[in-house]
Structures are given as structure tokens and as C-alpha cells.
Amino acid sequence: MSAPTGTKVPPTVKGRADLALNDEFLRKAVKFTTERLRNGKHAATAEHGNWEEWRERGRQIRLHTIAHLDYYLNLFADNARANGVHVHFASTAAEAVKVSLAIAKQVKAKSVVKSKSMVTEELHLNHALEGLGIEAIETDLGEYIIQLAGETPSHIIIPAIHKNRFQIAELLSKEAGETLEADTTILAGFVRKKLREKFLEADIGMTGCNFAIAETGSMVLFENEGNARMVTTVPKTQITLMGMERIIPSWSDLEVMATLLPRSATGQKLTMYMSGITGPRRDVDADGPDEMHIIIVDNGRSNQLGDPEFQELLNCIRCGACLNACPVYRHIGGHAYGGTYSGPIGAVLTPALQKNVGDWDDIANASSLCGACYEACPVKIPLHEMLIYLRRRKQEGGHRDLAEAGGMKGFSAIMGNSGRFKGVVKLGKLGQRLVSRNGEIRLKLGPLKGWNSYRVTPSLPKQSFRDKWGTLEEELRHGLNELSPDARSRMEQLVRSREQDGGGHGHG
């Protein structure tokens, strides 16, 4: 689904990752761009200062809104309607597609210009529109490029991160009917001219929604190119698709989101354009849509509500910072994840939205649990912990890998008892005699195959620590130094404070 049409896509993350790992250009391109974005974010957050306080504020606003989502979403819908917007609710992707198509048919649309929207990717809406003979044109430069290539976005912010300018020049030349030089300015210039015509003749403008403001029924879009402004200014009909969790209470809260989102996404203080749209054009206005529809989409989102381990997923503001921070994403790119959303957020969101943990076989395994995603997240979603919860649910739900389950049973049998642990270490020392040379094991067989394809394994030493302990303790019993009075009093103080208030240290 995400590779060029006609190519066979491996069914697992591991298989798709292997393809990506063997694509030298892809790896370089993804590394280069994510590194730049990551450095940009570091610089922007450091310059702004107090980043932890802003993150915490952003998290609190999102937590509050989601905890009262029925109130705020209802308020938003009522206010948007009062602004003259036609509001629709879609529980499933199919329902959202149905409403979109009904509107397109009613206004006899021939073409739809779209600005970037991950929700429409979720719905595969372009495909559905084309089924009715309606041309759907992506107008974000990156989205336009991958649409021409017949692909899907591989990064939430930089959708064509995996293409180089020669590949892009080839795609655009085909569209232009002449050979375009692989020069960014020339290529972008061609797209500007080509899409200008499309904007002016389109019947429908279709957008996503970064934030929806409950108290005034407004929807807010962040962008750099101006295509979202085009789409919401020029065509007669506007359709906005928004995830039901995009809500924030007020414009005051938007200041916090506007502080967090661009800095986290691209390292910008603010995107070149931030637009708040409150209803269709007023009667006296000479531009803006005559008719505006907002389709509020659930499509699995509400399943996270009331789930203490996953509700915070709905706090996501779709900035892509976790992708840029993720060392796994950097090596395999977005398509390897196999869903609409990629990177750490995709690894959790995709199975969570679809509630089919078993089918998303290995997606949760594509993480070393390093926590870089959590550290990068502007609203502090603990993605690295959610990945563990997913793995637990998968195996508790009976979707276990038999070899792994057997291994884990063995693990608990050995590690549940120190005598058995000691015995196994001893057995290991005996067993390794067959394969160990000069203190190293280089064998690429059985469980060591993957590991030893990149590494050498050290052999077990003759004596384990517990074998040595007796002698060591005996030796140290003599000539022990004195603990400094300072350290002693600090230690005593710590023990006391634990007894008093249960106060600890470290992380939460």
C-alpha cells in the first residue's frame, strides 16, 4: 500500500525494514532530514527557554480537554454550526468517506484541491473520490510529489522525505510534458504554476485540522506554503476533516500549541502561516467558501478513552518530533511501518486505532525502547511505555510467538530461583567450550545468528561474581576505610525522610 503500485510489499515490519535498510539513498535521505529537523528543534527550544514548563503546560491542556471531550467537542460543534458550518459526525472511516462523497456529488464537483491532512490518508479518500471520477489533487509540495509517484507519505511533516530531487524531477517532467532540470527552484516553480490553475478551477477545497477551538467553533491550520490558505479561500465549497480529539478550549490555549507545534516539528518559531477559520465567508465578503463542512472523525480514536494506558495517545499534536528523534525511524523510514502514521507514534497509534493488536504483528517490536520519543514529545506522551503495554496485550490476547513464549517461561523458571540461575550459568560455561575461541563466540547459528551477524559475543568467564564473592568479602573485611561523617548523615537523613513521607528520588 505504501510502496509504488505494482511492487510487492512484504507483510511484516521486519520485511519492509530489510528493504529500507538495503536502500542506501533512502537511509541517507531520512538521516539527513531527521537530523536537521532534530537539531532545529533543539536550537528553537533552547532559544525559547523554559521548555519543560511549556511542555508541561501543553500536556495539561491536552489532558484536560480529552478528559472533558464530550463537553468541549459538543461546544465546538454547536459553535461551528452557529457560525454557519455544516457539521457532520463519522464513527468510522466508511462513514466519513460517505459524507465526503455525498457533498462532492451534491455540488457536482469535478475536482478537489487538498491541503495536507493525515485523516484523509487514514480514510483513503483520494481513492474514493477518484472512484466517482472526481480529480483529487494534493497541493502540499511534498504530498503532490508522492501523489504523482502513487505513494503515501513516509513522514508526517516531510511526506516526500524518501525522494531525491532527481527522482522528483523525473516525476514532474512527466507531468510537465518536458524535461525539467533537477533544480529545487525550477521544480517548485513548475508546481506553483501548475497548481495555481488547479486552485482556481477546483470546486472543493479539502483540509485537515491542526486544532479546533471549542469556545468559538473555529478551526486552525499551520502551514508554510500557503496551499492551505488557497484551499480555504478560493473554492466555493470547503470540507474539513478533523479527528475528534483535535479540540482545544480557547484561543488562549492556542498560544501554547503554537509555541509547541512549530518548534517541535521544524524548529520554527511559527509556521509562515497560521490561519483561524471561523465559518464560511460572510455575506459581504468577496472571498472564502460559500459553504463549509466539517466532518468530525472517530475511526478508533474513542477506543482510547477511559483506557488508562492509552488515553494519552489522544494528546498527540502530530508534530513528528518523535520520528525525528527515533533511531529506528532514522534507519528504516516511514513506509516500513506499514500504516498511515509512522515512527514511534505510528507504532502505537496504528494498532491502538484499529484494536487489532494481533494483526499488527511486529510493529510494536520495532523499537529498542530507548525513550527518545518521549523526551522529544512536546506533550510528553510516554510512547516507550505504551509500546510495552502493546506487547503485553498482544501476548495476553493469545497472539504470542510460541518460541518466545517458551523462552520466557524458561526465563521465569531460571530467574525465579537463584539456585537454578547459578546452575544455568554453570551449564553455559560447559556448553560454550564447543564454540568459544579466545574468549569470544563468533558462531552465526541458532539464537546467535542475528546478533553475531553484526557482533562478536564474549564468552562467560571462569568464575561468576557470586563465585568470587566469598573471597572478595573476606579480603575487604580487613582495612575498610571510614565513611565520611557527611555521607553518613546524608544517608541517615534519606532513610528518615523515606519513613516520614515516603519520599523517594529519581523519575516518576
Q: Is 50 exposed, middle or buried, given 0-12, 13-18 or 19+ CB atoms closer than 10 A?
A: exposed
Candidates 2, 45, 100, 218; binder of other proteins (CB under 8 A) is 218
Q: Which stretch binds other proteins (CB under 8 A): 53-61, 123-131, 173-181, 344-352?
A: 53-61
- Of the pair 111, 224, the CB lying nearest other proteins is at 224
Closest to 151 (Cα-Cα) out of 357, 368, 335: 335
B/e letters for 273-305, b = 16+ CB within 10 Å, e = fewer, are ebbebbbbbeeeeeebbebbbbbbbbbbbebbe
Cα separation values, 36 from 112, 141, 160, 263, 325, Å = 33, 19, 15, 13, 11
Per-residue HEC secondary structure of 303-325 comes to HHCCCCCCHHHHHCCCCCHHHHH
When asked if residue 435 is in the footprint of other proteins (CB under 8 A), the reply is no
Cβ 363 to other proteins shortest distance, Å = 11
Cβ 354 to other proteins shortest distance, Å = 17
Q: Which residue has the cell 474514493?
A: 128
Candidates 41, 114, 380, 394; binder of other proteins (CB under 8 A) is 394
When asked if residue 60 is in the footprint of other proteins (CB under 8 A), the reply is yes
Binders of other proteins in range 142-181 (CB under 8 A): 142, 145, 158-160, 164-165, 168
- Of the pair 6, 384, the CB lying nearest other proteins is at 384
Cα 42-257-369 angle, rounded to 5 deg: 50
How far apart are the C-alpha atoms of 407 and 464, rounded to whole Å? 23
- 174 neighbors 118 (Cβ within 8 angstroms): no
- Determine phi and psi for 277, rounding to 5 degrees: -110, 125
- Of the pair 204, 332, the CB lying nearest other proteins is at 332
Q: Which stretch binds other proteins (CB under 8 A): 118-126, 315-323, 328-336, 337-345?
A: 328-336
When asked if residue 201 is in the footprint of other proteins (CB under 8 A), the reply is no
When asked if residue 494 is in the footprint of other proteins (CB under 8 A), the reply is yes
When asked if residue 481 is in the footprint of other proteins (CB under 8 A), the reply is yes
Q: For strand 273-277 and strand 218-223, is the pairing parallel, antiparallel, or unpaired?
A: antiparallel
Binders of other proteins in range 293-312 (CB under 8 A): 296, 298, 302-303, 305-306
- 201 neighbors 235 (Cβ within 8 angstroms): no
Candidates 24, 70, 178, 474; binder of other proteins (CB under 8 A) is 70
Cβ 49 to other proteins shortest distance, Å = 10
Q: Which stretch binds other proteins (CB under 8 A): 120-128, 129-137, 191-199, 347-355?
A: 191-199
Q: Which cell numbers hold the place of 398?
A: 493469545
When asked if residue 185 is in the footprint of other proteins (CB under 8 A), the reply is yes
Cβ 464 to other proteins shortest distance, Å = 5
When asked if residue 195 is in the footprint of other proteins (CB under 8 A), the reply is yes
When asked if residue 362 is in the footprint of other proteins (CB under 8 A), the reply is yes
How far apart are the C-alpha atoms of 392 and 353, rounded to whole Å? 17
When asked if residue 230 is in the footprint of other proteins (CB under 8 A), the reply is yes
When asked if residue 443 is in the footprint of other proteins (CB under 8 A), the reply is no
With CB under 8 A as the rule, give the number of residues binding other proteins.
191
